[in-house]
Amino acid sequence: MEIIWLAILGVLLIGYFALEGFDIGVGMMLPVLSRARERAGEPGPRRRHRDRLVAAMAPFVLANEIWLIAAAGTLFGAFPSLEGTVVNGLYPVVVALLVSWILRDAGLWFRRRLDGAAWGAFWDAILCAASWGLALSWGVALASVVRGLPDRPFDLIGLLYGAVVAAAFAFHGRAFTVWRLSGPSEARGTGRRLRLSAAVAALPVAVPLVLLAPALLDHAAPSATLNVLNLIVLPVTPIMVAAQVWVWRTFGPIRSAGATTAIPSFF
Amino acid sequence: MLDLARLQFAVTGSLHFLFVVLTLGMAPLVAIMQTRHAISGKPVFERMTRFWGQIYVINYALGVFTGLVMEFQFGLSWGGLTHFAGDVFGAPLAIESLVAFFLESTFLGLWIFGWNRLPKRLHLACIWLVTLTAYASAFWIMVANSFLQHPAGSVRRGDHLVLTDFSALLTNPSLLMAFPHVIGAGLFAGSFVIIGASAYQLFRRTPEQEFFRRSLRTGVVWAFVGTNLAVGFGYAQFAFVGDIQPDKFKGALPGAALGNMILIGQLVHTIVMFVLLPLLFRNLLARARWMHPVLMLMTPLPFVAAILGWLTREVGRQPWLVYGRLTVADAMSPGLTKEMVTLSFAAFAGVLGLLALADYLLIARVVRRGPTQVDLGAAEPAEPSPEPALVL
């Protein structure tokens, strides 16, 4: 039974990297991608290009970031003795990760709530910087866990792994915007490339998970606790999968609206 | 250092609850407005859904930000709790995040961004599913909290608690009356935001009189329901508390917090029942302009009462974290240093405090601008047919 909960934790973490990875990547690449669109001769001010890029990922963010909250809940419920050790052992990294996550989300929720250009540019800068913070914190956290929680997690190896995660997310973010925003003529193969980049984004967490699987199994909660989780969680799983599929079926590529059309988006 | 770690939890927890209590109250009210639109087809209900919905989602954002910190804070500062009681306490929290909040967030994304895109009935279903899962979230969080108040369904084995009877967690006397009390407090907060904002617009005599007259009616009716639930299930808790936590209200702070919460609850309940509700007759309340500043000033009351309620419940549990089993001092993570706690407290309180302030200013701005300029559900340019999405 422990193996089921290890699998659930693995699926949630890998799913988080494969899905939320592109949101973080788009945030990191926001200045680069918007300038590229400008250079490619797309009309409109740079702010409009940023709006379009954010609007491309907006409907997915809430459904994607929740995978990590679910993974943290699984860690807490099914591997409680590990949760305290890992989160506390990563104290400064977890604080950096949470602050980055909150600021990234604040950038998304707030950027269009006032009309002024300065307001939007300010929150877009926060969105971009916090997305970088998220990717780097993840690299540092994973490198630290694999090495058995060293005292100084922000060392060269940690930061290098952070760079690996950031590169994977940036690649994935770019593939996502191409899939969602390319016109009908260039659309061929973009879905396949998005799935490939999702695999690339998931790799930095999948490898440590495989390495740590035996240690994780040793820390599973007793069967009385896991039975309760089985009873409540497993029957609802099909609904959760269906809800996620519904998101992807609702928000497909934006092809028919021309490049100059603003996409009304809450974010 | 213990005080600092406790203060950090109290500050982030209180901030979280200020936003969550409004989320819990606004979600069903927005769902009801959208349902009335679906049934009657009247455009005013669609405008109400979008306007109050926008306030609901701006508020929701801060509930999530503060909630993230709450979820990880157990591991950051209170590692002793997971070691001692994680096998019991972890289960309801895991179910909350893994099932209830997972679905709530997914359906809310579909509701916000699926406007003018999803079929109308499915879009309406989304907001009801958001409401249902928000209530489920509140339920599981209250199951976990009630275990801290009264560790039912578990026995001590060696140095930790093990789960022996899950149904005892769900029928915990500390939970049964407190959960509907919180639901009532949510409706109380949601309806008073609607009442206060409507009174402001009516007082200023903006052109949206019809819109805010209807909103005021909805607010008052649900304020009646909310205050009844909150007050009724508030008093009902006294039947249990004496048995399971005899010294709960003996301290100076819990005693004062309880007294003031009851004062606010009684006062507002009486005003709603004997003044506001009767004045709905022939829209007397909407026309009584001198009343509107009073209604505006009453808006913070449910929030003050909610914080006082939490102070009573949580400070009254001290010095225990798990009542009678684990003290707060013993629950602190080993190896925590003063620098670590100071740093994280400054980071979380600073960031969340500023964002909370910005969020309230943005809500105030939405209220001031009124329903003519709402981002939520703004119409898309005509699209012939949505492309089939990536098939998973």
d(CA B271, CA B326): 43
Q: What are phi and psi of B42, to 5 degrees?
A: -70, 130
CA distance A44 to A258: 12
Q: B93: which chain A residues are within 8 Å (Cβ-Cβ)?
A: 73, 76-77
Mean pLDDT of B325-338: 91
Question: Which residues in chain A have Cβ-Cβ distances shorter than 8 Å to B113?
Answer: 58-59, 251, 265-266
- Render pLDDT for A122-131 as a digit per residue (tens, 0 to 9): 999 999 999 9
Is residue B143 situated within a structural domain? yes
H/E element, A94 = helix A91-110
In a domain, residue B362? The reply is yes
For A6, A207, A209, B356, the CA distances from A213, given in Å and listed in that order, are: 8, 10, 6, 40
Q: Is A38 contained in some domain?
A: yes
In this predicted structure, the answer to whether residue B353 has a pLDDT above a threshold of 90 is yes
pLDDT (0 to 100) of residue B93? 95
Pick from A5, A16, A91 the residue to mutate for testing the B interface (most B CBs within 10 Å): A91
pLDDT number for residue A85: 87
Q: Please report, for chain B, how many H helices and E strands are present, in that order.
A: 16, 4
Phi, psi angle pair for B161, to nearest 5°: -90, 145
Residue of B94, B108, B163 lying closest to A62 (CB–CB): B108
With beta carbons less than 8 A apart as the criterion, state whether A11 and B102 touch: no
Q: What is the pLDDT of residue B387?
A: 46
How many other C-beta atoms are found inside a 10 Å radius of the C-beta of residue B386?
15
As beta bridge partners, residue B154 has: B163
Q: What does the pLDDT read at residue A41?
A: 85
Task: Nearest chain B residue to A234 by CA: give it.
Answer: B99
Within a domain: B40: yes
Look at residue A267 and tell me if it is in a domain. Answer: no
Q: If DSSP codes are grouped into helix, strand and coil, which group holds residue A219?
A: coil
- The answer as to whether B276 is a domain residue is yes
- Which one of B65, B106, B170 makes the best mutation probe of the A interface by having the most chain A beta carbons within 10 Å? B106
Q: What is the DSSP string of B240-277?
A: HHHHH-TTTTTSHHHHHHHHHHHHHHHHHHHHIIIIIT
Q: What are phi and psi of A257, to 5 degrees?
A: -70, 130
**At A44, is the pLDDT very low, low, confident or very high (cuts 50, 70, 90)?**
confident
pLDDT in tens, B162-185: 999 999 999 999 999 999 999 999
- A261 in any annotated domain: no
Residue B224: CB atoms within 10 Å? 19
Residues of A in contact with B55 (CB under 8 A): none
Beta bridge partners of B160: B157
Q: What is the pLDDT of residue B382?
A: 43
Closest CA to B16 of B303, B258, B231: B303
Q: Would residue A165 count as lying in a domain?
A: yes
At residue A183 the predicted structure's pLDDT band, cuts being 50, 70 and 90, is: confident
Question: What total number of domains does chain B contain?
Answer: 1
Give B279's contacts (C-beta < 8 A, 6+ positions apart).
B285, B288, B291
**Backbone dihedral angles phi then psi of residue A168, each to the nearest 5 degrees:** -65, -45
Q: Is residue A6 part of a domain?
A: yes
Listed residue (B58, B107, B47) closest to A250, CA to CA: B107
Give the per-residue pLDDT at B385. Answer: 40
Question: Alpha carbon A213 to chain centroid distance?
Answer: 22
B163–A66 CB contact, under 8 Å:
no
Give yes or no for A5 touching B (CB within 8 A): no
Q: Which A positions 66-85 lie with beta carbon below 8 A of chain B? A: 66-67, 69-70, 72-74, 76-78, 80-81, 83-85
pLDDT of B381 strictly over 60: no
Q: How many helices (H) and strands (E) does chain A have?
A: 9, 0
The DSSP bridge partners found for residue B327 are B320
CA end-to-end distance (rounded Å), chain A: 41
- String of b and e for B332-352 (b: at least 16 CB within 10 Å)? bbeebeeebbeebbebbbebb
Distance CA B63, CA B57 (A): 10
* Averaged pLDDT, B84-99: 94
Q: Quick one: tokens of B176?
A: 């049964």
Which of A179, A237, A266 best probes binding to B when mutated, by most B CB atoms within 10 angstroms?
Answer: A266
Element (H, E) at B327: strand B326-327
Per-residue pLDDT, A1: 81
User: Does residue B153 sit within a domain?
Assistant: yes
Q: What is the mean pLDDT of chain B?
A: 93
Under 8 Å between Cβ of A246 and B109: no
What is the distance in angstroms between the Cα of B358 and the nearest Cα belonging to chain A?
Answer: 9
Q: How far is CA B68 from the centre of its chain?
A: 15
8 Å CB contact of A95 and B348: yes
Domain extent at residue A64:
2-250
The model's pLDDT over B358-372, given as tens digits with 9 standing for 90+, comes to 999 999 999 999 999
Range of B344's domain?
2-372
Quick check: A248 and B64 CB within 8 A?
A: no
CA angle B127-B219-B185, nearest 5°? 75
For B255-293, write each residue's pLDDT tens digit.
999 999 999 999 999 999 999 999 999 999 999 999 999
SS3 A171: helix
Q: Are A127 and A104 in contact (CB under 8 A)?
A: yes
CA proximity to B80, closest of A84, A80, A87, A72: A84
Q: Which of B72, B102, B103 sits opposite A87 (nearest CB)?
A: B72
Q: Please state, in angstroms and as integers, the Cα–Cα distance from residue B299 to each residue in B189, B238, B324, B378, following that order.
A: 8, 27, 38, 28
| The pLDDT value given to residue B383 | 41
Is residue B212 within 8 A of residue B47, CB to CB? The reply is no
Q: Which chain A positions have a beta carbon within 8 Å of B376's beta carbon?
A: 266
What confidence score (pLDDT) does residue A135 get? 98
Q: Residue B312 falls within a domain, yes or no?
A: yes
Contact check, Cβ <8 Å, A62/B109: yes
Taking only residues 91 to 130 of chain A, the set having a beta carbon closer than 8 angstroms to any beta carbon of chain B reads 91-92, 94-95, 98-99, 101-103, 105-106, 109-110, 112-114
Answer whether residue B377 is part of any domain. Answer: no
The CA distance from B1 to A49, in Å, is 48
Q: Is B99's CB within 8 Å of A240's CB?
A: yes
Identify the band that residue B58 occupies on the pLDDT scale cut at 50, 70 and 90.
very high
Residues in chain A with CB shorter than 8 Å from the CB of B121 are none
Cβ of B106 within 8 Å of Cβ of A179? The answer is no
**What is the per-residue DSSP string for B47-90?**
HHHHHHHHHHHHHHHHHHHHHHHHHHHHHHH-HHHHHHHHHHHH
Residues in chain A closer than 8 A to B384 (CB atoms): 256
pLDDT at residue A113 above 60? yes
* Mean pLDDT value across chain A: 92
With respect to residue B67, please indicate whether it lies within any of the assigned structural domains. Answer: yes
Tokens of residue A96, six digits: 């950096």
Cβ neighbour number for residue B317 with a 10 Å cutoff: 21
pLDDT for residue A263 is more than 80: no
Judged by CB atoms closer than 8 Å, whether chains meet at A95 and B344 is answered as yes
The H or E element that residue B157 is part of is: strand B154-157
Q: Say if A62 is an interface residue toward chain B (CB within 8 Å).
A: yes
Q: Which pLDDT tens digit goes with each residue over B227-249?
A: 999 999 999 999 889 899 988 99
CB contact under 8 A, A95 and B343: yes
DSSP SS3 for B155: strand
Strand partners, B326: B322
* Residue B389 banded pLDDT, cuts 50, 70, 90: low
Q: Could you please report the per-residue DSSP string of A25-90?
A: HHHHTHHHHHHHHHHTT--S-HHHHHHHHHHHHHHHHHHHHHHHHHHHHHHHHHSHHHHHHHHHHT
> What does the pLDDT average to over A145-149?
92
Report chain B's terminal Cα–Cα distance, integer Å.
50
Reduced to 3 states (helix: H, G, I; strand: E, B; else coil), residue A150 is coil
Domain total of chain A:
1
Does residue A84 contact residue B83 with C-beta atoms inside 8 Å? Answer: yes
A2 to chain B, any CB pair closer than 8 A? The answer is no
